Structure 1
Amino acid sequence: MKLFLNLLLFLAVTSIYSQNSLSGSVFNSETNESIAFANIYFPQLEKGTTTNEVGVFSIHNLPTGNYNILVSIIGFETYSQTIQIPYQEDLKIALLPSAIEIEEVIVSTPFHKLQSENVMKVEQRKASDLKSKGAINLAEGITNIPGVDGVSTGISIAKPVIRGLSSNRVLVYTQGIRLENQQFGSEHGLGINDAGIESVEVIKGPASLLYGSDAIGGVLYLNPERFAHENESETNLNFQYFTNTEGLNTNLGYKSSGEKFKFLIRGSFTEHADYKTEDYRVTNTRFNEKDLKAALGYQDVNFKTELRYNLNASKLGIPEEIGIQNLNKSPLLPYQGITNHIFSSKSTLFFENSRLDLNLGYTYNDRKEFEEEHHHDDDEDHDDDDDDEHDDDEHDDDEHDDEEHHDEILHPALHMKLKTFNYDAKYHLPKFGKFETIVGVQGMHQINTNYGEEVLIPDATTNDFGVLATSHIHFEKADIQLGARFDTRNIKVVNSIDKSFTSFNGALGVKTNLSKNVVARLNLASGFRAPNLAELTSYGSHEGTNRFEIGNENLNNEQNLQIDLALEYKTDHLEIFANGFYNIIKNYIFLSPNGDLINDDPVFLYLQDDAKLYGGEVGLHIHPHPLDWLHIESSFETVTGKLNNDDYLPLIPANKLNNTLRVEYNLKPLNKGNAFVTLSSAFAQKNTSVFETETSGYNLLSAGFGGEINVFKSVLQIQITGTNLTNKKYVNHLSRLKPDGIYNIGRNFSFSLSYTL
């Protein structure tokens, strides 16, 4: 307590003597004209403002120290520079005109730099840009990022796949903490609504140095919506309609910031009927979702903190076969009922030339799954008529009403509650010469408890602890990042196993300019993943998996080593990139059938063998002079995965080629207009595991246009997008409905409106 009081006294004293202000101006380096409404932002402080009509800005209550300042606006290169606060004179910033899109700060890596300054290759996309491509949800939207795909069950359930690895091999972060929502299940989705998500970052490759176990394949990092600028407020309404499912995504948000306190809240509602192919609707792919996000922030000179809360409640139909054909939006049996609470606290203490970051999180995931056999007796007659249901829509509606009536009194077949506490503390040491260094500790305490009739995963407690150190070294012609980490994980299963797993990992990366226009990044990193509860202890059938899984308590750590080479060529009007990787995984865990049947389901065992994955992504972006409004983009991605015996790994995405023609324009009354046409080609996947079938290739055509108009002196954004315009009948290799020959979604148009006050 005495130490705590002394710390508070120290903060109070430093606040008195460390309040600083910065003033300056922003102008065009070629014409010397002032630039109005440019964004000024300090990423370490999460504090910013904009220039006024004559290009002047001022920002107050800055702590003493060295901080990176970013200045960005459309049509100019993003300016990045480290300055010392206090700054004794007005800061004059010259921006270079450019047709290249604005660069944003990379948050998922610890030094918070622009991607052009980052040693690791990280892909970043704005959530709004992903939605503009016509994606129904966030999980579908991220598949537009090269090297990223998704294992899907219809349109409501999807899991991210990064370079052929998914499930517990890809770690998801939201609100600055790891997302824990029973993600071991192959039919368990992402569980995050895109409302209130600012941007998405993808680390492709082992990130155990930064995040510990489960980041062996990469990290999907979701950046939450930012607070409003100081002394500003904003109300925003979004509406999106989808013709294929007659679905709605709608959300309303408000945020306001004073000199010290900040607040935001956003609520959303989503519902979709079964999606349609050219021949039929896919029964029970319907779903609905309610989401609430709220945040409260406080910022003084030497201290800032924010508290965030996310409540997500969803009902997701589990498709099994083609049956009922209607447009009802409440799921039939079987379905998942999921309630997820995420509490997070993110705080920073600023000292002179150093700082301490502390992130705390608590996730409460309540998962229920209801199955057909749990109907009451008076509903059994309806079940006998399943084969004829699609012929009588009126009967379908009546039966659906009966199911709705009984939802509240049905007992879930599977009911699990997962409670997880996370902590992450990182101390940024004072800069020493060319060295920026961070040391830290991370950990997790997790309890899984069963309440349902079935127990697929037993009651268990998991504890993680890790300690790390990493440095960024600045040389004249190169930047080097290196680090090391030690982790331990203990898993205790009630009245059963008590196992501990340990691992030591490291990473080394270098970024250098091979020439004026060519940047090279070479990274070598190891990673690990401890076996999860499903792999250690499963024994039973799970709704939707169509298999009986048996765990193996003798499984060892997965341990990998990946080398990654990224090359970028960039001029004012041409960008070319090529990324290649080779990933060696020792003790790769996989499911394999043994030929037996239990309860008419094939038995699958968890086995281990060494594996390797290799491939990469190449692409280009042309915006020719003087046609800066024209953009031609193309990317190709490939990955191959094999076991040590040369058998192919399961769930490896097919090779993909994407070609996009995009234009930007201003035609009154439409401002910031955009239009695009995209042809996405998936090649045939013939490199399949022993229990997979080959998948044919296909081409999907999409197009869209939109822009902004002023309505009552505020901005209304409009976007109209069509996907699968030819109504192609196709099956994605990573669709969990593929074994039943069920097609993916057909032609769909989306209409989006976003109004900001």
Structure 2
Amino acid sequence: MKYVFSLILLLCSIPGWAQPTGTVQGVVRAGNQPVAFASVGLKGSQLGATADEKGEFVLAAVPVGNYRLAASAVGFQPAERSVTVTAGAIITVDVSLTAAPAALTEVVVTGVSRATEIRKSPVPVAVLSKREVLLNSNGNIIDAAVKGVPGLSAVTTGPNISKPFIRGLGYNRVLTLYNGLRQEGQQWGDEHGIEIDQYDIDRIEVVKGPASLMYGSDAVAGVINMLPRLPTGTPGRLHGDALTEYQTNNNLLGTSLGLTYHQRGWQYAARGSYRLAQNYRNALEGRVYGTAFRELNLTGMAGVEKAWGSTHFTATLYDNRQEIPDGSRDSLSRRFTRQVFEGEQDDIKNRPLVPAADLSTYRINPLHQHIQHYRLLNRTRLRLGTGELYTLLGVQQNLRREYNHPTAPSQPGLAVALTTTSYDVRYAVPTWRGLETTVGLNGMHQRNQNRNATDFPIPDYTLTDVGGYLHLKKALGPLELSGGLRYDTRWLRWKDFYVGMDARTGFARQVSRAEAAGAEPQFGAFRTRYQGVSASAGATYSFSEKLLLRANVARGYRAPNITEVGSNGLDPGAHIVYLGNRAFGPEFSLQEDIGLSAYLPDAELSASVFNNDIQNYIYQARLTDADGQPVVIVPGNATYQYQQGRARLYGTEITANLHPRALPMLAFNNSLAYVTGLNKQASLLENHGRAARYLPLIPPLHTRSELRLSSQQNWRQVTGGYLRAVLDYNAPQNRFYAVDNTETRTAGYALLGLGAGFSLTTGPEKREWLQVVAQMDNVLNTVYQSHLNRLKYFEYYAPPPTGRSGIFNQGRNLTLKISTTF
């Protein structure tokens, strides 16, 4: 590769030997401040450079002639200057850039080949800033994203576990990234959350729609990229920020401290965060037993950014102890009970009541899961002439232990260790006649190991992914075209896995072939290869700078995950026995998107519609016997078997954000998201009729409206004051997967939220140093169940004595956040 680059540079320089040249140099500024790392080039030529941290640039060996010098940078409007180069002359040209409106210049790098303005991306993209996250009350980082991005929803198991869904698709169809590195943490499980520090995230980017072109399998529904904060502020000084948070509903306490330092391009950052919470409560049930948690996060970063590029190393530690709810109760009082025996001795309907002291405590009960996630990654960007090379290398390990034995609390039921090595190499080829070309290669290697456990839902396995792609982008006046092609391969394999009884403990354990004494393995040896082609083609047409039309069609590919093909056992935390199917093939989706956006002086309006047809769609369904009764393999736990068929999802997203210039203090933001998921498998429809018409886990129609009043004047050191009211409405979900009561109807509900906040400044420059936020959610203490709340189905009585089945969502909650910068 080194020799190829050298040859290209040599060939490009040959024409310059035969003619006189000159030099163009200068500084890129915005007002009186230099614009670091701005891009500078001569239009119609291959000559270009990147300014240094002082905004200075030099273009050497420029053939004599007349040129247009173009300069650009993120957050600024491009500028051009005329330049005449004479033989042997040094021409000095200073370029001044003007800041552009944020709505027109927000740049996204997730799911596309290189930095692209949101408004010009043919794929629907949304960005959520740290400030917007701070204004809301969040149980976790996914909850924060859901509140700010239409079309994004989440399957939840209590306040600290949320699995993202994009347009009705989730699990291994949504790829979650931390700073560009794919998050791998046994995400196939219902109660497996995202192991990321929410206080460390500066920006959330969401791509809605197939992003398989960039990332391959597991991005067929979209991508969520969580980006941490990089060091800013005065060079050579230690900067930091601290935050403390309290939530009244579950007495959540959160605190975080971050430190940053940068000097001469060298950058350093560190952060520590800690959260703990008691059981949450609602007006109907009081405190919900089994929903408390404790979470610790540590992050460290070191890197350098120069004119030649940048490289950053990041290490993270996530440690969470999360209780496991099961929903067992006393039949008369409906008070929560707890498990104290196992097997036949455990009478679910006669368990002892949970003492009141155990409902209001920060102690984690014996039945809980302990998750540790370690991550080390390197991101590097090299400027090679006018091209750029990006690399990402990461190693992460996820340790998950789920303790479900009340008679042996130190014995985990599930104990798995997943180690993943990921790589991503991308080269942005120098632009040629307006054509932007990017080639890339990425993939991962995984190894999963069961440890000292008694339940084995999945085997020990190894998985290897590799994929390469080509992406092209070309602007033709107001029309911008983009598209690409990708090929992926996945190898999945495991050996015979035997399980036997441990006579000392009475629990199951992993045994060798010899110890199995001829018994059949729980997981017979398996080896297969999946492969698929992904492609996309899109266009953006600018009627003007403020009115754009977007269209995109994409073919996505997803290989089955380990539990879909290999599961055969109990996941204690989910209370589900999973059964996979080795005959499954890859999923392929074909999605069409079209959208219109208008950036008006008094409003920002957008509307998009999509249609997604999926072949070999994989979903869960309850297993029943010949009489239609649920199959129970492990008492007290449901049994689900994966199915595969055809599916179609379609819907729309609409936003209308109003900010009238006549009333600068007023902002009225509105959004609507709707998706329908249809089961198109003919045999299933023939056997079950209307009950099988819809897909499982489809969110209902959702609208969100926010009225915000922001102070336009400062009062002494007080600034940034605001008042807000938020109304979240979820319509009834009458379109659900009803076969064998896998899902049931969910009533609609509306939730009112009220918030207020302000900032304090210091010094003559009015530097903001303290921010106070108060937010009350579910002001009316509404009793409700989200359709995607797994606790809705935690019920042991049929019919329930009160007529209300399952566990309900969180009640009224007041959040107070105080953050400071120094």
Distance in 2 separating the partners of 1:210 and 1:518? 28
The answer to whether the 8 Å contact 2:447/2:460 transfers is yes
Whichever residue aligns with residue 678 of structure 1, its letter is V
TM-score of the superposition, structure 1-length normalised?
Answer: 0.86
Give the match for residue 110 of structure 1: 113
Which one of the candidate residues 699, 705, 708 is aligned to 2:759?
Answer: 708
The answer to whether the 8 Å contact 2:202/2:229 transfers is yes
The answer to whether the 8 Å contact 1:573/1:623 transfers is yes
Give the match for residue 59 of structure 1: 54
Q: Give matches, 1:158-169, under 5 Å.
A: 158-169=162-173
Give the match for residue 277 of structure 1: 282
Which one of the candidate residues 346, 368, 388 is aligned to 2:401?
Answer: 368
Q: Give matches, 1:214-363, under 5 Å.
A: 214-228=218-232, 230-279=235-284, 280-321=286-327, 322-323=336-337, 324=354, 325=356, 326-363=359-396
1:210 aligns with 2:239: no
The answer to whether the 8 Å contact 2:700/2:730 transfers is yes
In the TM superposition, residue 80 of structure 1 has moved relative to its aligned partner by 5.0
Distance in 1 separating the partners of 2:122 and 2:560? 30
Give the match for residue 390 of structure 1: none
In the TM superposition, residue 629 of structure 1 has moved relative to its aligned partner by 1.8
1:603 aligns with 2:639: yes
In the TM superposition, residue 358 of structure 1 has moved relative to its aligned partner by 0.8
The answer to whether the 8 Å contact 1:361/1:422 transfers is yes
569 and 87 in structure 1: CA distance in 2 versus 1, 3 angstrom threshold: farther
Query: SS of the counterpart of 2:122?
Result: coil
In the TM superposition, residue 21 of structure 1 has moved relative to its aligned partner by 8.3
Superimposed CA distance per residue, residues 309-357 of structure 1 (whole angstroms, 9 cap, x where no aligned partner): 1110000111112343432123213211011011110112211111211
Give the match for residue 398 of structure 1: none
Give the match for residue 431 of structure 2: 431
Superimposed CA distance per residue, residues 129-165 of structure 1 (whole angstroms, 9 cap, x where no aligned partner): 1231212321211111100011000101110011000
In the TM superposition, residue 599 of structure 1 has moved relative to its aligned partner by 2.3
Give the match for residue 50 of structure 1: none
Distance in 2 separating the partners of 1:130 and 1:178? 22
TM-score of the superposition, structure 2-length normalised?
Answer: 0.79
Distance in 1 separating the partners of 2:649 and 2:584? 21
Q: Give matches, 1:541-690, under 5 Å.
A: 541-595=570-624, 596-600=631-635, 601-644=637-680, 645=685, 647-665=693-711, 666-668=713-715, 669-690=717-738
**Who wins on radius of gyration, i.e. which is larger?**
2
Mean Cα deviation higher: 60-69 or 251-260: 60-69
The answer to whether the 8 Å contact 1:42/1:69 transfers is no
Give the match for residue 125 of structure 1: 128
Q: Give matches, 1:689-704, under 5 Å.
A: 689-690=737-738, 691-704=742-755
The answer to whether the 8 Å contact 2:243/2:820 transfers is yes
Mean Cα deviation higher: 642-651 or 501-510: 642-651
Query: SS of the counterpart of 1:598?
Result: coil
Whichever residue aligns with residue 583 of structure 1, its letter is N
1:183 aligns with 2:187: yes
Whichever residue aligns with residue 735 of structure 1, its letter is N
The answer to whether the 8 Å contact 1:418/1:449 transfers is yes
Indicate the RMSD between aligned Cα atoms, in angstroms: 2.8
The answer to whether the 8 Å contact 2:456/2:571 transfers is no
Query: SS of the counterpart of 1:430?
Result: strand
Distance in 2 separating the partners of 1:470 and 1:640? 31
Give the match for residue 47 of structure 2: none
The answer to whether the 8 Å contact 2:114/2:428 transfers is no
Superimposed CA distance per residue, residues 521-568 of structure 1 (whole angstroms, 9 cap, x where no aligned partner): 101001111111111111112224333221111110011000011111
Superimposed CA distance per residue, residues 475-513 of structure 1 (whole angstroms, 9 cap, x where no aligned partner): 101111110000000001123111100001110000002
In the TM superposition, residue 641 of structure 1 has moved relative to its aligned partner by 0.4
Identical residues among aligned pairs (%): 29
The answer to whether the 8 Å contact 2:709/2:724 transfers is yes
The answer to whether the 8 Å contact 1:23/1:58 transfers is no
Query: SS of the counterpart of 1:458?
Result: coil
The answer to whether the 8 Å contact 2:27/2:57 transfers is no
Query: SS of the counterpart of 1:110?
Result: coil
Distance in 2 separating the partners of 1:133 and 1:305? 33
62 and 487 in structure 1: CA distance in 2 versus 1, 3 angstrom threshold: farther
1:751 aligns with 2:787: no
The answer to whether the 8 Å contact 1:721/1:751 transfers is yes
694 and 59 in structure 1: CA distance in 2 versus 1, 3 angstrom threshold: same
Which one of the candidate residues 77, 90, 93 is aligned to 1:79?
Answer: 77
Superimposed CA distance per residue, residues 611-657 of structure 1 (whole angstroms, 9 cap, x where no aligned partner): 01000111211111211221111111100001114621111111111
The answer to whether the 8 Å contact 1:42/1:67 transfers is no
The answer to whether the 8 Å contact 2:316/2:374 transfers is yes
In the TM superposition, residue 429 of structure 1 has moved relative to its aligned partner by 0.6
The answer to whether the 8 Å contact 1:577/1:620 transfers is yes
The answer to whether the 8 Å contact 2:26/2:58 transfers is no
